[in-house]
Structure 1
Amino acid sequence: MEPNDTIPAVPAEPLSTAPAEPPAAPAEAPAAPVRPRPRGRTALLIAAAALLGISGGTAVGYGIQAQRPPSQLPALSQTELAYPAKALPADKVPAPLPASQDRQAKTDGDLRKLLIDRPAGWSEDKDADWLDDGWMSVGDLARDYREEDYMFEYFLGSGIRRIAGASWVKGADREAEIRLVQFSSGVSTSAAEFADGQRAYMGDPEKGAGNEGDPVEASGEGRYYLYEVDREPGYEPLYQARALMNRGDIMIEINLYDSRPISKKDIRTLAEQQLERV
């Protein structure tokens, strides 16, 4: 209906003398209805009143401001910056850290050089197709987890930078895998959060080792774990150990596999040696 249309008259209905029956209570309280947008003539009246209120308030504000004295502006000139009168003597200037002690210089270089050297008695695993010249892709890393798609998005959202790895074999059945997962540096704590998330479920026998593990010395929250032996008919028993640590923007993961028992010393030694290199 347009604003100038004539509103038709509605015939009045006779009043009923019978008492009104109270409405039955609903079985469930409905949600509060959304107030409908006003239409037609009512909408025009409300819009005109709002516009008048805004215009009137603006005019009053300008009038009050015009009656006030002008405010003093701050000076454009600034005080001169203070510098020390003399430079520090050469023997007082701190010397730069050597490259071997500068973590940023170490981690910004070739990440593969931070992997520990292959121990004596071990050889390169030529069947490790997840490695390409010592590098691992984000997709290959995500495929190692049950929820592959989720982990791939998680890594990308966490600012993953690069992954260096090594894979060795010893004897007939022992295998070792080491991964250095580096995230973008700065205020981000993605490496620590990733390591914490992995350690959080290691006590679950369905998802992890089923125990709380043991601390890795001088690693902060780093821990290493021994899994319960996995036995399946027709297969050799599978023993597994895992270490999870983080330092700076790098998360360190080490896995050991064998058909014979793995000692705590085996996984702890690798974890401590790798931690010293990062």
Structure 2
Amino acid sequence: MEHEQPPRAPRRRGRTTALIATALVLGALAGTVTGYAIQYGRKPTPLPPLAQQKPGTPKAQAPNDATTVKSINANRWHKTDDDLTKLLVDAPAGAKVEADGYETIDFFATGFKEPDNALRGYLKDGIRRVATRAWRQGDVVVEVRLVQFRDFSGADGYQRGQAEYMPDKEYAGNGGAVVPGVGPGLGHVWVDSEAQEKPGYYPVRAGRALVRRGDVVLDIHYFDTRGGKIDEGDVLDLAKRQLERL
């Protein structure tokens, strides 16, 4: 009996298409889609309780009018359980912030080649929420996402699955660089070896950073909309500054 091949991780759209999708994200997060305003106003979804308490730790309290999700789970609360948008790195001085808020999961899935499959897969993996900040500075457009899952395995699968195809020619076309201090299996940065050219569009060059910390994956997309050179150090520095806030 032949072994079944594991499903391939959802792949992001090509650079030019991704940049068009970025424009949609900027518009949607700026408020043109009312559903995002509703999503932004929701309280963070509580994580499921631990299967077993560690000996000596306080038991979870039953909720009442005086308790909150945080007080019930005080022994394991982390700042990433609060509003993720408050942890997003600030845009640089002089940049125009185009978007700041939560993406709905179905809209997040539209950034992949097969949106329906991506949506089903990530819901199955326990995706919880996606916080995004995007800005524009000259010819550069940057998206910073914090993609949170309900547990480690979902975040690990997302980070590894996305990193796996980045060296392909259609994407970065190279092995990229390890993010210092987090190890090769947890953080990587890539800058496209070549700009992508498509009839009717300016050439586009992109950089990307993927770093996992616990149940959150930092996913940065960095575009030069005229195909100019992107300094790997700029993408790496942005990733480091975001990590410091998690």
> So what's the TM-score if we normalise by structure 2?
0.64
Provide Cα deviations, 1:175-234, integer angstroms capped at 9, x if missing partner: 00011011113xx4110111000001111113x211111011122320110112112344
Provide Cα deviations, 1:97-132, integer angstroms capped at 9, x if missing partner: xxxxx984301111111111121121112xx5xxxx
In structure 2, what is the equivalent of residue 183 of structure 1? 149
Letter in 2 for 1:249: D
Deviation at 1:235? 3.0
Letter in 2 for 1:108: D
Aligned pair partner of 2:115 in 142, 148, 151: 148
In structure 2, what is the equivalent of residue 193 of structure 1? 157
In structure 2, what is the equivalent of residue 222 of structure 1? 187
Higher-Rg structure is 1
Distance (Å, rounded) in 2 between the aligned partners of 1:234 and 1:200: 30
Distance (Å, rounded) in 2 between the aligned partners of 1:146 and 1:104: 36
3-state secondary structure, aligned to 2:133: strand
Distance (Å, rounded) in 2 between the aligned partners of 1:104 and 1:230: 44
In structure 1, what is the equivalent of residue 174 of structure 2? 211
In structure 1, what is the equivalent of residue 88 of structure 2? 115
Distance (Å, rounded) in 2 between the aligned partners of 1:158 and 1:248: 15
TM-aligned CA distance change 1:232 to 1:194, over 3 Å: same
In structure 2, what is the equivalent of residue 231 of structure 1? 197
Matches within 5 A, 1:257-276: 257-258=223-224, 259=226, 260-276=228-244
Provide Cα deviations, 1:51-99, integer angstroms capped at 9, x if missing partner: xxxxxxxxxxxxxxxxxxxxxxxxxxxxxxxxxxxxxxxxxxxxxxxxx
3-state secondary structure, aligned to 1:141: helix
Greater RCO structure (CA 8 Å; 6+ sep): 2
Letter in 1 for 2:168: D
Deviation at 1:273? 0.6
> So what's the TM-score if we normalise by structure 1?
0.57
Contact 1:191/1:248 (<8 A) preserved: yes
Distance (Å, rounded) in 2 between the aligned partners of 1:190 and 1:234: 38
Letter in 1 for 2:234: D
Contact 1:177/1:256 (<8 A) preserved: yes
The answer to whether the aligner puts 1:242 opposite 2:208 as a matched pair is yes
Deviation at 1:266? 1.2
* Number of aligned residues: 167
Percentage identity across aligned positions?
Answer: 41
Distance (Å, rounded) in 2 between the aligned partners of 1:142 and 1:232: 24
Letter in 2 for 1:213: G
In structure 1, what is the equivalent of residue 132 of structure 2? 165
Greater displacement, 245-254 / 258-267:
258-267
Letter in 2 for 1:255: H
Contact 1:219/1:275 (<8 A) preserved: no
Deviation at 1:265? 1.3
TM-aligned CA distance change 1:247 to 1:103, over 3 Å: farther
3-state secondary structure, aligned to 1:261: coil
3-state secondary structure, aligned to 1:189: helix
Letter in 1 for 2:240: E
In structure 1, what is the equivalent of residue 58 of structure 2? none
RMSD, aligned CA: 1.7
Distance (Å, rounded) in 1 between the aligned partners of 2:103 and 2:114: 18
Deviation at 1:275? 1.1
Matches within 5 A, 1:31-180: 104-125=77-98, 134-171=101-138, 173-180=139-146
Contact 1:242/1:267 (<8 A) preserved: yes
3-state secondary structure, aligned to 1:199: helix
